[in-house]
A and B are shown apart, each in its own frame.
Chain A
Amino acid sequence: MSLTIKVGLASCGLAAGAGDVYNAIARYLKNNKLQAHLKQTACIGMCFAEPLMELSHSGKNTITYGRVLPEEVGSLIEAYQSGNPKTDNIILADEIPGSENDNLKNQIRIALRNCGIIDPESLEDYLDRNGYRALEKALRKMSREEVISEIKNSGLRGRGGAGFPTGLKWEFAYMSKDKKKYVVCNADEGDPGAFMDRSVLEGDPHSILEGMAICAYAIGSDEGYIYCRAEYPLAIKRLNIAIKQANDAGYLGRNIHGSIFSFRIHIKEGAGAFVCGEETALMASIEGQRGMPRIRPPFPAQSGLWGHPTNINNVETFANVSWIMLEGSGAYSRFGTEKSKGTKVFALAGKIKNSGLIEVPMGMTLRDVIYKVGNGMLTDKPFKGVQLGGPSGGCLPESLLDTPVDYDSINKTGAIMGSGGMVVMDSGTCMVDVARFFLDFTQKESCGKCTFCRIGTKRMLEILTRITRGEGELEDLDKLEELAVNVIKGSLCGLGQTAPNPVLTTLRYFREEYISHIVEKKCPAGVCKALIKYEIDPEKCVGCTVCTHKCPMACITGERKQIHKIDQEKCIKCGACYEACKFAAIIKS
């Protein structure tokens, strides 16, 4: 059997219809009695072209097709088999020039090494790619101290946002004296606009289990938890499958590899609270309480879950561990910059052509990430800003695109590296609205413990809302800055300490846009509803009545073949008519 067909069945693929494509292939194979190996895999990161189908055959080039429709799978397979493959929608191909996606070439895939390649529900696939060999090596050949120094030497820093050196963190937990210790994997991924962790969990769950087990051996723990947000049902399902497989095969459980080391892992499903991504809140949530952060110290490494020493790392941090153990710390620290070693996964989204998941060496410039790897802007609208680090991060303008992506350079700009969400914005995005959007988010997600975070963010949101309504005053900008400084100072946890960042960076880099809203009462991007108006261009309107049916307020009047009119009193500025008009007769001003 030499034809192999792989379909990406991660959440992104499924949302784009990959399930139907998979079924169509199965049907085609059955109806045509074709012998082939049909496999599922997860996300290879080229989400923009989902659904994806990879065809491979010994002696033939491997080809990945994108935007595959169920009704065309038969003809694609037939043409491929005949040696004369179709050339439309080729996303990846070894030797066919001009395939749409050269972006894999600019990437170094370590954390994502297996994503989109293996079947995440198959232990054999993982084992074939050196799976669980790092754990075996650690248990058979290395002392606990050696494991820790290997991770320390690699220079790996936590990928959950703060960038704390992972080896050092493990060492603290190792040094704590207690019979009971815990390893926790933070899979809460709360940053709206980021999906790195989801893809790893869905695409390579065993690598997380293996990373956690190595950590457990190093610090002396026998029990671990994965705290996964409930919005990721597929990730939870695949983690459960992987844990069962690993338990059955003896890679988890009692006396692993015949050693005295035992380790078991539980999954805890989150219940929808952004603040639970913060480590002390996360532990409170695992314990079954309201997820409220507490003062550190004591740090989790001294007193964590149920008062026992606990080591918490992010999903991506764990995904790097077994690679480092096998290839060596030197191989890892070869990539990256002096203080930020290795690679980083980014989730590219927003107005970018190749949106999806990428992994690049630290130190690549933002420009290269967006234009070389991400293939540039989605439409003709020009670049305006890129948002890094979600609600704790900031928006950077064109002039900062040559900033290298590493922890320290990004911090200097006022944004943060964060967990790796990168949302690209074009001239159709209003930066005041973006700042308001994030503050609305953090204000709702504030747990309410610190007054500055609870009320300060609310006051800031009120001011921003006022500005987007055209009711702002110039003094508001000073007030915003003053409040921002105080919210940062007066908050206990990272949520409040970073919540003002989106406001501060937009004020710093896009101040003129705030001023337009305040002085001229205009939203240059045409987003803020109170400042825009939809009208019908009598020259272009043909009286097709499409907009009258689309309008949710029924505020467009006009008979067929007669010029229509919008009742400005009733209009809620939803833009439905603007989208629906085929004659560009609706003017937004």
Chain B
Amino acid sequence: MLKNKNTIDEIISRFAGKKGSLIPLLQEIQNLEKYLSKETMRYLSEKTGIKLAQIYGVATFYTMFRLKPQGKHIIRVCKGTACHVSNADSILTAIRTSLKLTEEKDTTDNGLFTLMVVACLGCCSLSPVIMIDSNTHGKLTSEKVEQILKKYN
């Protein structure tokens, strides 16, 4: 049984009959559930008649879609060109160290943070840059990052 079945039904009905609505539909559902679980995708397919393969194909093509449970806050570390030449790697290392995340792990054990690497947040003149949820932080150093992370709980 899906946890948010009623809200999901409401979202589906809002998009019903609109052409090209699969991506925004998945985006809204992900906003609600934080990720797209297999059950949710299967349910969507049943409700909308869109083939499960197509839903899965879209969900895996775009990097915004996440197929695993996520932490409460999403940290996006920019590794675009400007940030790369401003040593974004050291920021990434600092975050990994401070959150005790190994290379293979991207969500903290307490479920507080999920770490993602992205290419360019559009604030290149303030590189290196990270974005936590929808707040952008620029001109970072390893120290500053640690201070910023402490503010989130």
Bound CA span A355–B85, Å:
14
CB distance from B60 to the nearest CB of A (A): 9
Interface-facing stretch out of B3-11, B37-45, B62-70, B104-112? B62-70
Task: Give every chain B residue within 8 A of A15 (Cβ-Cβ).
Answer: 123, 126, 129, 136-138
B63 touches A271 (CB 8 A): yes
- Give min CB distance, A34 to chain B, whole Å: 29
* Interface contact A347-B124, CB-CB below 8 Å: yes
Among A16, A268, A357, the residue within 8 A (CB) of B138 is: A16
User: Which residue of A is nearest B96, CB measured?
Assistant: A552
Interface extent on B, as a size class? Answer: 35 or more
Chain B nearest CB: distance from A180 CB in Å? 12
Chain A residues in 8 Å Cβ range of B89: 574
Q: Which residues of B contact A356 (CB under 8 A)?
A: 125
Beta-carbon contact of A351 and B85 below 8 Å: yes
What residues of chain B lie closer than 8 Å to A189, measured between beta carbons? 122
Contact assessment for B82 and A552 in the assembled complex, using a CB-CB cutoff below 8 Å:
no
Knowing A50-B126, A349-B124, the reply to whether A193 touches B80 (Cβ < 8 A) is: yes
* Contact status A12-B138, CB under 8 Å: yes
B27 partner, pick from A269, A306, A574, beta carbons under 8 A = A269
Min distance, Cβ A447 to any Cβ of chain B, angstroms: 8
**In the complex, which of the residues A191, A288, A290, A574 contacts B120, with contact meaning CB atoms closer than 8 Å?**
A191
Residues of A within 8 A of B57 (CB): 290
Query: B49-79: which residues lie under 8 A (CB-CB) from chain A?
Result: 54, 57-58, 61-65, 76, 78-79
- Do A273 and B124 touch across chains, with their CB atoms under 8 A apart? no
User: A274, A349, A423, A579 — which one has the most chain B CB atoms within 10 A of its CB?
Assistant: A349
Find out whether the CB atom of B82 lies under 8 angstroms from the CB atom of A423: yes
Residues of the A chain whose Cβ atoms lie less than 8 Å from the Cβ of B17: none
Nearest opposing residue in chain A for B94, CB measure: A576
**In the bound complex, CA of A50 to CA of B127 (Å):** 13
Q: Give every chain B residue within 8 A of A270 (Cβ-Cβ).
A: 62, 64
Q: Is B13 an interface residue, CB under 8 A from the partner?
A: no
Bound CA–CA A257/B122 (angstroms): 36
Closest chain A residue, CB of each to CB of B54: A289
Interface residues of B in 1-36 (CB under 8 A from A): 19-24, 26-27
| A273 touching B63 in the complex, CB below 8 Å, given contacts A47-B125, A423-B81 | yes
Question: Residues of B contacting A288 with CB < 8 Å?
Answer: 19-23, 58
A394 to B89, CA, bound (A): 22
Complex Cα–Cα for A435 and B131 (A): 26
Contacts of B90 in A (CB 8 A): 574-576, 579
In Å, the complex CA distance between A552 and B146 comes to 13
Is there contact, CB below 8 Å, between B120 and A231?
yes
A291 lies within 8 A of chain B by Cβ = yes
Query: Are A287 and B20 in touch, CB under 8 angstroms?
Result: yes
Q: Are B61 and A291 in contact (CB under 8 A)?
A: yes
| Contacting residues, chain A, for B120 (C-beta < 8 A) | 190-195, 231
State whether B124 touches A355 (Cβ < 8 A): yes
Do B126 and A350 touch (CB < 8 A)? no
In the complex where A350-B81, A423-B82 touch, is A290 in contact with B58 (Cβ < 8 A)? yes
Do A286 and B85 touch (CB < 8 A)?
no
CB-contacts of B112-132 with A (<8 A): 118-127, 129, 131
Give 3 nearest A-B pairs by CB, closest first: A192-B80, A193-B81, A271-B62
Could you show 18 A-B contacts with beta carbons less than 8 Å apart?
A11-B136, A14-B136, A192-B79, A192-B80, A194-B120, A198-B122, A231-B131, A269-B27, A271-B62, A271-B64, A288-B22, A291-B62, A347-B124, A350-B127, A356-B125, A423-B85, A574-B93, A579-B90
Extra inter-chain contacts (9) besides given A231-B121, A268-B23, A575-B90, CB under 8 Å: A15-B137, A16-B126, A270-B64, A271-B23, A289-B22, A289-B58, A355-B125, A390-B81, A579-B142
List residues of A whose CB falls within 8 A of some B CB. Answer: 11-12, 14-16, 47-48, 50, 189-195, 198, 230-233, 268-274, 285-291, 306, 347-351, 355-357, 387, 390, 421, 423, 425, 429, 434, 437-438, 441, 447, 550, 552, 572, 574-576, 579-580
